[in-house]
Amino acid sequence: MFVKQLPVSPSELTNLLQSLQHNSGTAFLDSASSDHNNSNFSVFAWAPRFTLLADLKTTSIFENNQLIGTSSADPLSLVNQYLQTIPHVDSKLPFTGGAIGYWDYELGGRYESLPAPKNMDISMPNMHVGIYDQILLFKPNYTEVYFISHRENASETFTQLNDVSKQPNLFDKPFKLTSQWRSNMTRAEYETKFDKVQEYLLSGDCYQINLAQRFKASYLGDEWNAYLSLREKNAAPFSSFIRIDQGAILSVSPERFYRFVTIKLKRNPLKALALVLRTNNETLQMQTNSQSPKKTEQKI
């Protein structure tokens, strides 16, 4: 494993990330707040060695952006299988390469019988996970920057990254909305749904329902700049940016879903906010889900 501290200033690192984020498969796990007690290192990964894209029937597997096969096997088992291609290294650093991505609620249809989604209007995979063998790891204030790689050309890549960080970015496109936000339901429709939720709760049919409302707006520019603006105004310790062929996902959250420490798995979800930006028609969508704070701890 190649590990070396990259001699870049915070502004040079900002410029380097701006240059790298254009690539499909970029994933940024961002401890955006420099003073939050849950902030730690941030992880920036790009050019995954393997990529796994799953829908409700099959998983497509890519190596260096080339399709190498499909499978109907459990998609998360496939992630674990390809994760074994990254050598396990005993390191003091919190992350030295591995799996980063997302999967949505509908992926549950691969594991149990669920009603078909009524409105599949977001043309993104149900699961997108990259297996990364090179990353940048750095502190929240953009200091102590490490380049970590398991590739044979790691030394050459290190030199290239250092050179790119010193060059001005000529492809920066400011982000701006070109329409007002629009909800996917009227106030009357929302009130009707809310009353129905109360009926379910009071009758004992369930104990919790997340009534989500989606907002849309048209936009121009680079989604990365939208993320930078979002993190500036809401510097959450568990933020992320993921770019794939179909669009970009921007997430800002104060919560940690799971934390694994020795033999204990700690879970403490609060709420989530995610922006999904679709490049095919330049429409931005925002969906919020809220639930009661709940912290649990489970031994495994």
Positions annotated as catalytic residues are 255, 271
Chain centroid to CA 281: 21
Distance in angstroms (rounded) separating the CA atoms of residues 119 and 108: 16
As a whole number of angstroms, the longest Cα–Cα distance in the chain is 65
CA distance 300 to 14: 39
Using DSSP bridges, classify how beta strands 256-261 and 264-268 pair: parallel, antiparallel or unpaired.
Answer: antiparallel
99 beta partners: 131
Q: How many angstroms separate the CA atoms of 172 and 230, rounded?
A: 17
Strand partners, 267: 258, 296
Q: How far apart, in whole angstroms, are the C-alpha atoms of residue 178 and residue 244?
A: 23
Give the whole-angstrom CA distance, residue 62 versus residue 160: 25
Name which of 247, 241, 229, 235 is nearest 285 in CA terms. Answer: 247
Mapping DSSP onto H, E and C, the string for 103-132 reads: ECHHHHHHCCCCCCCCCCCCCCCCEEEEEE
User: What tokens appear for 157 in the block?
Assistant: 């890549």
